[in-house]
A and B are shown apart, each in its own frame.
Chain A
């Protein structure tokens, strides 16, 4: 069926993306830098850098360090704060040549709800991702994404204030992701993003000190891909809401791994740094797979490896 129209649309709650390939938060701003060199409109959506209530200077340097197959980072949410964002950045969002997913970070339930409410209804914004990997100051610094009750409180509070689909971004540094994803769904999350960066550290041996000023950082890039695929596999067996899979995707084949493991859409972050055409390659890989399998819709690829495994009868 070469030449037959392929349906690449995916649904995240009430939002429809023209294709399942999303730019991950913190790696793409709103696309203006990459628009100089590639067609950023090929992305199904661009996720903005996380916005907090107050301006943040972020961490001291060094903030990034390349590792084997990865990049360790501790930026520390440098950003303008929501007021400056609304005044100076939000008006530019209508110029983004694809859909926009806003990202909110916070240190309390109230901060998440307040900032998310201000993002609701901005031009071009079709969903709100919650960067819940920050410490919760209301609960002795317990990370929201590490605690089902904290996460449920954030998702519930945000859902009560916004109309747009809400997508908490879960982190892999937990004993079991499944009850946390379940708590997100029960609290009304429209989808979950997974995974956020994996916690890591590099020591500067020559100077006998941590390489990053923040000591630890988040590891991204292909080094974490199998961790991310497994997280998607586990969570897809638990929740019924869509999963946006991410973590080290560099090729169409990588994207298909996530879709087959149970993701409805995928996001690409660090790989843009090396290959600004990675989103086009991922899309082409997905399209080729649809043709190869004579499948009309990308939605039919979601969980394909789960079906195959179930048929084989082994668990």
Chain B
């Protein structure tokens, strides 16, 4: 079966309240569930007169069902959270690129801030199957916002929990915690932009391979509208390959987060200083 994205109808099979505003939904859609790769996403068409789809990262994927872990933060996520079980949802997926797996014997640290954890279930599953030494660093503002641990814990990797307010685990950020851990060979990150910038900075400083999955406001979700770009180094693998614009002195190019990503290597990204 072809793993390229398809326009499908998914059925909402269960909805589970995780924390105030946080939901874990399971949708039945065999094509997405069977072909989703770590960090890929779906684009959902929700009722309510919205002009564009809601893109959401695929959290879990098993048999014919995939899971979404998300927070109500706008009208479309609020609408999704309110849909009753049994609802039929138009779904395009799986979309975007995927995390590349480490080589055998490499040590992995996964760094997830807040809902960034949702990018990692599929990766953790593959790391487990490949017997890769993995540590998961999870951070959130406070204990109630530490969502997503339930599913990841099943793989048995060690956790490092951090909260800004110290209500659980280490008080401080995931980056603080990462600095005190043994050096990793490969880092994976997903979470707020400032966290990812710090992670990439740390990775580059120590010469560690680092892949991050970025979040952006998407228009088309397919790569046609060029609305969700990120700065990458000119000539890097995910750059457009377009010639340099006249008068443009910066050594950067704009790649599409939805189509060329959402996963980018820290070596490619150019962060605002």
Contacts and interface: CB of A to CB of B under 8 A. Distances in A.
A28 B220 CA distance: 9
A70 to B, nearest CB: 5
B50 A66 contact: yes
Contacts of B1: none
B83 interface: no
Q: Which secondary structure characterizes the binding site on chain B?
A: loop
A9 interface: no
A274 B50 contact: yes
Interface in B214-273: 216-230, 240-246, 248, 252-254, 259
Contacts of A273: 51-53, 219-222, 225
A88 B253 CA distance: 18
Contact of A274 (B45, B224, B243): B45
Nearest to A88: B241
Contact of B51 (A28, A56, A62, A71): A71
Contacts of B76: 66
A276 B90 CA distance: 11
A57 B51 CA distance: 26
B117 interface: no
Contact of B228 (A34, A64, A221, A276): A64
Interface in A51-73: 54-58, 61-71, 73
B229 to A, nearest CB: 6
A302 B245 CA distance: 43
Residue among B50, B218, B225 with the most chain A CB within 10 A?
B225
B246 A54 contact: yes
A163 interface: no
Interface in A198-226: 220-223
B56 to A, nearest CB: 14
B50 to A, nearest CB: 7
A55 B7 contact: no
Nearest to A85: B242
Contacts of A38: 7
B153 to A, nearest CB: 34
Contact of B229 (A33, A58, A271): A58
A68 B79 CA distance: 14
Contacts of B226: 26, 49, 58, 63, 75, 78
A274 B51 contact: yes
B224 A57 contact: no
Contacts of B50: 66, 69, 274
B248 to A, nearest CB: 6
A181 B246 CA distance: 33
A80 interface: yes
B52 A275 contact: no
Contacts of A58: 226, 229, 254
B236 to A, nearest CB: 15
Interface in B57-94: 76, 90, 92
Contacts of B248: 57
Contact of A221 (B51, B216, B222, B223): B51
A36 B52 CA distance: 19
A61 B229 contact: yes
A55 B52 contact: no
B245 A61 contact: no
A270 interface: yes
16 contacts: A34-B224, A56-B245, A61-B228, A63-B219, A63-B228, A64-B218, A64-B227, A67-B51, A68-B49, A71-B51, A79-B242, A80-B242, A272-B224, A273-B52, A273-B53, A274-B52
> Nearest 6 A-B pairs (CB), nearest first?
A64-B227, A221-B51, A80-B242, A64-B219, A273-B220, A33-B222
Given A61-B229, A270-B51, A273-B53, 16 more contacts: A26-B226, A29-B223, A55-B244, A55-B245, A57-B254, A61-B228, A64-B219, A66-B52, A71-B51, A71-B52, A73-B227, A80-B242, A273-B51, A273-B222, A273-B225, A274-B52
